[in-house]
Structure 1
Amino acid sequence: MPHDRSLEGYLRRPEFATDLLQITKGVIAATGAWWISDAVLDSQMPFLAPWTALLTVHATVYRSFSRGVQTTIASTIGVGVSFLIGNYLGVGLWTFALAMFVGLAGARLSWIRDEGVAIATTAIFILGSGFDSQQPLLVDRLLELALGVAVGLAVNLLMIPPLRDRQAARYIDSVNRQMGEVLTDMSDQFSRSWDSDAAQEWFERTESMSRELQSAWQTVRFARESRRINPRTAIRARRLRRRGDTADSAEKESYENILFRADEGISHLRNLARTLREASSSEREWNTSFRDEWASIVADAGRSIADPDAEVEPIFDRLQQLSTDISQDRSLPETTWPIYGSLITSLRHIVVIVDDVASTRSARESD
């Protein structure tokens, strides 16, 4: 996604603020868990609590909760495996290897797959730090693991749980802006002249947009996840209910629907580029009236997608009038109709999407 490459622009990116907040949360959670474990519980293994706290602090509260539960289960299994093997088989080369095998095999269980490796790492901590001294302290080890998870969850709940709306909005706006820029460039060159290289460049830019759209989808899904088990979401919902606002439903429409529509728009834009690329290699005289009006409509469509607040004449009506005028022009050679028809059809689909882009952008900004 294009960004301001200056230092100030980098520091103002929402991703920077989110990453910095995530680092801060990890530091506070791990340090707090270590202090409680060392100073309050006087633990002989004060690294278990900060380790699980660090594993629990994820980018969203929902993920912290789900991964925290998995970490607790996996670590508890790891403690149990360690004490069973150490107590009945002793600690040695082969028993340590057995503990690792059991731990890594258990990590493949689907219901703890994300944090299943904690079975093996917990066994490493316990067996590798002197099993004989740890054997009587099984309950203490479990308490420290639970402490780490609790501290991680508490920190993530209390320290401004992220919503990621701004990142999602920036991706959406970036894709729209690029579509608008390609249409504007296409209009400018079509009104004068263009070659296959220019058309190929437009085609490749649509491919780049499709790749960026995948990143946009990931960010939007992450934004949805960040709303689950998030106190900011509940507070925001209460505020909206007091105002009688329905912005949440409009905002949902703005993110999911606009990405679907943007994907359609990119497909039609790619088809436009392909048609113009093929037309550039053929020798034909373009109808001046069609060329001027189609280029004007494309330019306004590009402006409307890139900036929904831009003042343009009603695009769809102009395109319909262009179709009518061309169909009544008896002087057009029959061989030009497939190309003209393809350009009009693709642009008609994009024009419909323009209205969706403008309305969903308006809904998102009102939210």
Structure 2
Amino acid sequence: MHSAFEEAGPERDTLVRSLKAAGAAIVAWALTGWWLHAPMALLAPWTAVALVCGTVYRSLRTGLQQCAVIALGTVWASAAMAITRDQTMAAMLLTVPFMTLIGTYRRFGEQGLFGATTALFVITAGSSSAATVGHRLLETVIGAVVGISVNALVLPPVHLRSVRDRLGRFARGTSELLDTMARGLREEDGLDGAASWHGEATRLALSLQGVAEARSWAMEGARLNPARRLRRTGPPPPPVSEDMRWGRVSSRVLAVTRTLSGVGGDDAELPGPSPRYLADLADVLDGTARVCEQAAAPLFPGGGRAGERDTTAADGAWDSVRSLAGTFHLQKGEAAAVSGELLVETRQLLNELTRSP
């Protein structure tokens, strides 16, 4: 609740959706239970809550699926009650196995379960007349209309922030990790923390995988959305090329941390570079962290547009890379191979961050 009122984000979206679902249920109950005095008014708010989905398109698709499966469950259960002369146990034996099985049909999606539960409501109510069946179908339709209408007309979800938020969090986390690595390498026995650096880089890489899902939600949120142009949703998501760019940055950071974790700790698998080389590497990572912070700025409100950033940090980082290359020539034996890998990966990392979008 605190986060929802502090700033726009997933917490506020969740709060809005919850309040919309509750409002839809109340309206659906008012129409069917209070105004129409329907015999099973429960079906209307139950359907309305389920149809306040993450996007308007999903509400419409889910509504069609749910109405179809609920209608099937209602008609089948009513027919079973008529055949068994309102014998509850016999009607359940004729209905529940079939409805449970047909609920797994892929075209019903996640709504398949509603067929069996609706059938149970119908059977336990103990009435199978045509008027009662008609009322149940009407209540379901009213609930569906209310749920879809509320979701489409009251702050319709568009999900434009999600892609930018996820990329921004990854970029900021990467900048902080590079800064931590730079400070660690300047300390005595700084490589002891290399394993934790690699673990953090892995966590960041996994978080980046959610960007594709967020982009899919953003595209779906714009489909069949009647009010998407009326809401202040912020700037559009970054282009797909940014996803690929930050994915390459993630791969470079993972490679650097993996190599450092191999030369750090008591059970080091590889010979480590000289202290001077590690000090120069710390300068490179420190400069790269500043560049990463600048590259991430356009992903946040008030951060400016991509390409409009000061090149001082990038120039300093490239100077540090050239100094690191000079120190590399002083490395010998297997340590030279490790140093060369670190040099190549940090150079490629900086190249990705300074490349024009």
The one of 176, 182, 198 aligned to 2:177: 182
The one of 81, 86, 102 aligned to 1:86: 81
TM superposition shift of 1:158: 0.8
Aligned residues: 337
CA contact (8 A) 2:66 2:114 kept: yes
The one of 106, 131, 134 aligned to 1:136: 131
The aligned counterpart of 1:69 is 64
Kindly provide the amino acid, as one letter, of the partner of residue 351 in structure 1: L
The aligned counterpart of 1:126 is 122
- 2:296 maps to 1:302: no
Kindly provide the amino acid, as one letter, of the partner of residue 205 in structure 2: S
| Alignment partners' CA distance in 2, 1:122 and 1:180 | 53
**Structure 1 residues 118, 279: closer, same or farther in 2, change over 3 A?**
closer
Please give the per-residue CA displacement for 1:198-238, whole angstroms capped at 9, x wherever unaligned: 1111111112213323444443433332222223435579x
- 2:221 maps to 1:226: yes
**Taking structure 2 as the reference length, what is the TM-score of the superposition?**
0.82
The aligned counterpart of 1:365 is none
1:176-325 residue pairs with structure 2 within 5 A?
176-234=171-229, 248=236, 251-253=237-239, 256-280=240-264, 281=268, 286=274, 288=276, 290-308=277-295, 311=310, 312-314=313-315, 317-318=318-319, 321-322=322-323, 325=326
**Structure 1 residues 352, 62: closer, same or farther in 2, change over 3 A?**
farther
| Alignment partners' CA distance in 2, 1:142 and 1:9 | 40
- 2:342 maps to 1:343: yes
| Alignment partners' CA distance in 2, 1:126 and 1:293 | 75
**Structure 1 residues 292, 102: closer, same or farther in 2, change over 3 A?**
same
- 2:159 maps to 1:164: yes
SS at match of 1:117: helix
TM superposition shift of 1:294: 3.3
TM superposition shift of 1:146: 1.1
CA contact (8 A) 1:164 1:226 kept: yes
**Taking structure 1 as the reference length, what is the TM-score of the superposition?**
0.80
| Alignment partners' CA distance in 1, 2:136 and 2:2 | 46
Higher deviation after alignment, 111-120 or 228-237:
228-237
TM superposition shift of 1:88: 2.1
TM superposition shift of 1:184: 1.2
Alpha carbon RMSD of aligned pairs, Å? 3.0
- Identity of counterpart residues, as a percentage? 20
Kindly provide the amino acid, as one letter, of the partner of residue 137 in structure 1: T
CA contact (8 A) 2:4 2:12 kept: no
- 2:28 maps to 1:33: yes
TM superposition shift of 1:186: 1.5
TM superposition shift of 1:291: 4.5
1:13-24 residue pairs with structure 2 within 5 A?
13=7, 14-24=9-19
- 2:52 maps to 1:51: no
